[in-house]
Structure 1
Amino acid sequence: MKSRMSVIKFRWLLVIALVAALLGWLVTVLANRAGLPTPVLPYSALITLALVIVLVVILGVRVRRWRNGNHEKDLSPILAARTLILAQASAYAGAIILGWHFGALVDALTTTFYGASISVLGAPVALMLGSLAMVAAGIIVERFCRIPPEDGADSAAGSA
């Protein structure tokens, strides 16, 4: 039986982000009503996001170079598969972080409308931008890991 990895579905990324946004908004409202701080990641999380993005891109470029014919260094098929899985995981994780912070941003916008400090908008916006970069890196590296179809494979299969 042939196993095939599925590609990232943009609809799923959108659904995940929307569900996370709803949960983020709901938890933020409940936390603020209870007098707790807004549940968003600190600015230092941007460093972690950046490190994940750099790691995904470095591994993806290595797979892409090998795929495009640079066979000076061997590439383990396991490493290529793990790179693909890491790229997909970073895209989905980025969608969750994006959605959560969008929900927190919606609540923060309503509180700033009623006179709260505008500084509460900084962390959600910064983390949304970082998570968008993480989603983009995951999608791009997933495309790096695709094996192009062989020219003769389709014609040979059709004639047989």
Structure 2
Amino acid sequence: MKPHAGIRVTTLLLAAAAMMVIAWLLLRLLSSGGSAVPDPGWIGGVAMLFLGAALLIGGWQVRKVRDGHPNPVITPLRAARTLVLGQAGALTGSVLVGWYVANVLVLLPDADVDSQLARIWAFAVHAVIALLLAVAGMVVQSWCRLRPRDDEDENGSDHS
């Protein structure tokens, strides 16, 4: 039986692209009706950075146990939860990248206005931070992946 490969980069790219298209359409509809594109709050960027750092810390602990450094705090259940959190962080980051890029695209025609240019840069910074969250999630997923055991290969335990 082939183990599950986990979240793939193509999945993240598709999620980001889908969110970007949907958000762009909705934001264009709202802005054509006279509504302004909402400003990105700084708290969102801080929250994404905090989540990414927490994911990396948890993933690093699981990686150390996986590599043979015992830690009684890291149980198999905690390792599994860390894996799922890493995957959730990757998906969340990719969807947020799509959201922030859509905001940039909606504001881009008014980039010659200084106030709009400042907002474009704020959304671009948030998109980069969201990308970092997605990357952190993928790194944690790779750190939580179990390596195949040597005895499985020798016994020919191919269950296909």
TM-score by length of structure 1 reads: 0.89
- Whether contact under 8 Å (2:18, 2:98) holds in the other structure is yes
- Whether contact under 8 Å (2:83, 2:144) holds in the other structure is yes
Q: Which amino acid aligns with 2:91?
A: Y
Deviations 1:65-103 (A, max 9, x none): 101111143421110110000000000000100011111
TM-score by length of structure 2 reads: 0.89
Deviation of 1:115 (Å): 8.0
Q: Which amino acid aligns with 2:146?
A: I
Aligned to 2:25: 26
- Whether contact under 8 Å (2:27, 2:106) holds in the other structure is yes
The farther-off stretch of 116-125 and 58-67 is 116-125
Q: Which amino acid aligns with 2:117?
A: I
CA–CA separation in structure 1 for the residues paired with 2:66 and 2:115:
53
Aligned to 2:62: 63
1:108 aligns with 2:111: no
The farther-off stretch of 77-86 and 108-117 is 108-117
Q: CA RMSD in A?
A: 2.2
Q: Which amino acid aligns with 1:59?
A: G
- Whether contact under 8 Å (1:24, 1:102) holds in the other structure is no
Deviation of 1:10 (Å): 1.4
Q: Does the C-alpha gap of structure 1 residues 40 and 12 become closer, same or farther in structure 2, counting only changes over 3 Å? A: farther
User: How many residues end up aligned between the 2 structures?
Assistant: 158
Identity percentage of aligned residues: 25
- Which segments of 5 or more consecutive residues in structure 2 lack a partner in the other structure? none
List, as ranges, runs of 4+ consecutive aligned residues in structure 1 with deviation greater than 3 Å.
2-6, 113-117
Q: Give runs of aligned pairs for residues 14-53 of structure 1, distance below 5 A.
A: 14-39=13-38, 41-53=40-52
- Whether contact under 8 Å (1:102, 1:124) holds in the other structure is yes
- Which segments of 5 or more consecutive residues in structure 1 lack a partner in the other structure? none
